[in-house]
Amino acid sequence: MRSSYAEKAPLGLKIAAILGLLFMHLPILLIFVYAFTTEDKTYQWPPPGFTLKWFSVAWNRPDVWEALSLSVKVASISTLIALVLGTLCAAAVSRSKFFGREAISLLVILPIALPGIITGIALRSAFNLADIKFSIWTIVLGHATFCVVVVYNNAVARFRRTSGSLIEASMDLGANGFQTFRYVVLPNIATALLAGGMLAFALSFDEVIVTTLTAGQQATLPIWMLEELVRPRQRPVTNVVAMIVVLVTFFPILCAYYLTKE
């Protein structure tokens, strides 16, 4: 029998779905247009003319480069820490049942389940209490805390699909725990870790709410952008930077998608 619901979508639903997708994408595409506008004092639409000038202006701005390099540094270190902590946690949770296992999943998720400002304020007041000076390391500490969950989620999903008999087989064939990890477990979870690491990088590269509270004088790229948002001074440079940020975060997401595709 033909199912009445499985075949074709009603036209209204189709239109609503496509409009919804357009709503999610047009604003981002708009930034690409603004990056080329000749107007530099207002957000005038339609742009009076198009130019490539702002790309070279942005290229020659030392403050943009400094912010970019700090962001890359912070994101790389945080991703590394998150990879280690997230994998350890995922391995422990999926290889054995123990008391408090549920609590550990909750603990990992908590930093992103709670609003970012709470994580930020809590860390900031703790740094103040402990008399720790704000530096790149305080930023990293905050970022790594909420990046763990991304790696953890990816790793747990992969561990669940990796059969335990592979590990037993490796042990039966005489490999010790380290060898099993190196030759059996790691190759199995490598792409999941890579995907988790890329998402963690994108998350950290973009984070601003916790960062404004855990940074001292340092400006990461999002902090640089936030200042421009609150007090616009160099609109054309901001447009170009915004477009580059979109492109930079675009690739890790695409890669992560293809790495975890089944």
Partner 1 sequence: MEYKNNPIHAPGLIGRLADLFWRRKWLLLLLMLLPPLLWLGVIYIGSLLALLVQSFFSIDEFSGLINYELTLKTYKELLVPANLDIIIRTVSMAAAVSLAAAIVAFPIAYYAARYARGKWKALFYLGVMLPLWSSYLVKVYAWKLILAKEGILNWLIVKLHLSWLLDALLATPVIGGNSLSVSYIGTFLVFLYVWLPFMVLPMQAALERVPINYLDASADLGANPVQTFRNVILPLAMPGVIAGSIFTFSLTLGDYIIPQIIGSSRLFIGQAVYAHQGTAGNIPLAAAFSVVPIVIMCIYLWMAKRKGAFDAL
Figure out which of the listed residues 49, 62, 99, 129 binds partner 1, where binding follows CB under 8 A.
129
11 binds partner 1 (CB under 8 A): no
Stretch near partner 1 under the rule CB under 8 A, chosen from 27-35, 72-80, 156-164, 184-192: 27-35
Stretch near partner 1 under the rule CB under 8 A, chosen from 26-34, 54-62, 157-165, 183-191: 26-34
The footprint of partner 1 on residues 60-89 (CB under 8 A) is 81, 84-86, 88-89
DSSP annotation string for the chain: ---TTTS---HHHHHHHHHHHHHHHHHHHHHHHHTTBS--SS--SS-S-B-SHHHHHHHT-HHHHHHHHHHHHHHHHHHHHHHHHHHHHHHHHHH---TTHHHHHHHHHHHHHS-HHHHHHHHHHHHHHTTPPPSHHHHHHHHHHHHHHHHHHHHHHHHHHS-HHHHHHHHHTT--HHHHIIIIIHHHHHHHHHHHHHHHHHHHHH--HHHHHH-SS---HHHHHHHHHHS-S-HHHHHHHHHHHHHHHHHHHHHHHHHH--
Least Å distance between CB 40 and partner 1? 13
The footprint of partner 1 on residues 36-55 (CB under 8 A) is 42-46
184 binds partner 1 (CB under 8 A): no
Least Å distance between CB 179 and partner 1? 7
Least Å distance between CB 60 and partner 1? 22
Least Å distance between CB 18 and partner 1? 8
144 binds partner 1 (CB under 8 A): yes
